[in-house]
């Protein structure tokens, strides 16, 4: 009860001495100035962002173009097929080869025999 | 006060535009100025604080969506700016040990003396506690709403209110004694 009363007294004291009680607030000139600065800052920020975005977007587009061109290049096997088919053999007699080179430089050739795969 | 006790969940952010900023300024400048004045006790500081708060909003690409979210963001920025100034001033006062508001003590008007006392006492409180007390005692904002505005838990706000009232009572007594000398 006493605490409530002292809280009320404190509130009254604070309100009696409220620093903003008689203050009229920002006048129209101050308001206009702050508003103007705020909008100018916003515009400047937008301009800076655009100035940064255009080169970034151009660089990205060029990169995408270069990547697209690189992927379109026909892939050539690492080596020519190691086995040639005999002139009279059917076209599918050699089958497909998988060639790759290990880190130590050994060439590995897998020849996929069509007759074994069925 | 017809303010709701629960804060809505923070909505998605909204991209800032000139219209949005202008609207935000028109709706909140008066309230923020009063809060800044109550927090700083000085008209020039209050003006600077309001300006800096809105400049910070203008520098952002997006702000919280929804009016309550934006209002809370503005209040928090203002309170944080007050806290930064208070820290800097505390370092200075360590050497000077003088309150600027004391010059008002020579004013014979009792209202001016009361204002000087309250201003000086408030200035000695930690900014967050001061913000809680100002919002609650002078602006009549409920504790739950203050929690939403300052990003604190309601229990923390109540604790600040309880401790702050005791602290402020002592400070007001000290200040009025010093001003009475």
- Output the domain CATH number for residue B43: 1.10.1740
Burial class (CB in 10 A: 0-12, 13-18, 19+), B117: buried
Per-residue pLDDT of A50-93, as tens digits, reads 888 888 899 999 999 999 888 877 666 666 666 666 666 665 55
pLDDT surpasses 90 at A38: yes
Non-local CB neighbours of A113 within 8 Å, separated by 6+ positions = A95
| Residue B114 and residue A17 in contact, taking contact as beta carbons nearer than 8 Å | yes
Quote the DSSP letter at residue B106. G
> What is the reported pLDDT for A47?
85
Of B65, B97, B129, the domain-final residue: B97
- Of B38, B63, B97, which closes a domain? B97
Helix %, strand %, coil % for chain B, to 5?
Answer: 75, 5, 20
B34 and A20: CB-CB below 8 Å? yes
The pair phi, psi for residue B7, each rounded to 5°, is -90, 135
- Mean pLDDT confidence for A15-38: 89
- Residue B130: list chain A partners with CB under 8 A: none
Distance CA B13, CA B85 (A): 28
Same domain, B111 and B172: yes
Q: How many whole angstroms separate alpha carbon A19 and alpha carbon B174?
A: 18
B87 and B54 both lie in a single domain: yes
Domain that holds residue B53: 13-97
In angstroms, the CA B11 to CA B8 distance is 8
What is the per-residue pLDDT for B47?
Answer: 94
Please tell me whether residues B81 and B110 are part of one structural domain: no
Q: Per-residue pLDDT for chain B (181 aa), expressed as one digit of tens each?
A: 434 444 444 556 777 788 899 999 999 999 999 999 999 888 999 999 999 999 999 998 888 888 888 999 999 999 999 888 888 777 666 555 544 444 444 444 677 777 888 888 888 899 999 999 999 999 999 999 999 999 999 999 999 999 999 998 888 887 766 666 5
Least confident piece of the model among A10-19, A97-106, B3-12: B3-12
**pLDDT of res. A104:** 86
Residue ranges of chain B whose CB lies within 8 Å of a chain A CB: 16, 18, 21-22, 25, 29-30, 33-34, 37-38, 41, 43, 47, 50-51, 54-55, 57-59, 61, 111, 114-119, 122, 133, 137-138, 165, 168-169, 172
Q: B147 and B80 in one domain?
A: no
Instruction: Report which of B4, B63, B53, B62 is spatially closest to residue B32, judged by C-alpha positions.
Output: B53
Q: Is there a domain that residue B123 lies in? A: yes
Burial of B65 (0-12, 13-18, 19+ CB in 10 A): middle
Here the CATH number for the domain that contains residue B181 is 1.10.10.10
Q: Same domain for B112 and B93?
A: no
Domain identity same for B93 and B136? no
Average pLDDT over residues A16-37: 89
Asked if residues B47 and A26 have their Cβ atoms less than 8 Å apart, the reply is yes
Average pLDDT for residues A10-39, to the nearest whole number? 89
Number of structural domains, chain B?
Answer: 2
């Amino acid at each position: 009860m006493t605490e409530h009363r002292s809280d009320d007294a404190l509130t009254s004291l604070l309100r009696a001495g409220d620093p903003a009680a008689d203050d009229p607030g920002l006048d129209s000139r101050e308001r206009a100035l702050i508003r103007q600065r705020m909008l100018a800052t916003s515009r400047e920020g937008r301009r800076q962002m655009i100035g940064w975005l255009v080169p970034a977007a151009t660089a990205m587009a060029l990169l995408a173009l270069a990547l697209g061109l690189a992927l379109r290049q026909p892939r050539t096997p690492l080596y020519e097929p190691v086995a040639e088919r005999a002139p009279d053999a059917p076209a599918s007699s050699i089958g497909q080869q998988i060639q790759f080179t290990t880190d130590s430089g050994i060439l590995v050739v897998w020849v996929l025999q069509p007759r074994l795969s069925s | 006060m017809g303010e709701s006790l629960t804060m809505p969940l923070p909505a998605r952010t909204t991209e800032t535009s000139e219209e949005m900023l202008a609207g935000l300024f028109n709706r909140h400048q008066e309230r923020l100025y009063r809060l800044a004045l109550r927090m700083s006790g000085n008209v020039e500081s209050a003006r600077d604080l309001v300006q800096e708060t809105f400049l910070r909003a203008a520098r952002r690409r997006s702000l919280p969506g929804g009016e309550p979210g934006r209002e809370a963001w503005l209040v928090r920025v203002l309170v944080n700016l007050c806290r930064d100034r208070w820290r800097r001033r505390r370092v200075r006062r360590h050497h000077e040990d003088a309150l600027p508001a004391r010059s008002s003590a020579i004013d014979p008007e009792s209202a001016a003396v009361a204002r000087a006392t309250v201003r000086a006492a408030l200035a000695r409180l930690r900014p967050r506690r001061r913000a809680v007390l100002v919002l609650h005692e002078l602006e009549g904002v409920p504790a739950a709403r203050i929690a939403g505005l300052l990003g604190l838990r309601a229990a923390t706000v109540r604790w600040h209110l309880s401790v702050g009232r005791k602290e402020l009572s002592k400070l007001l007594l000290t200040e009025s004694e010093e001003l009475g000398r």
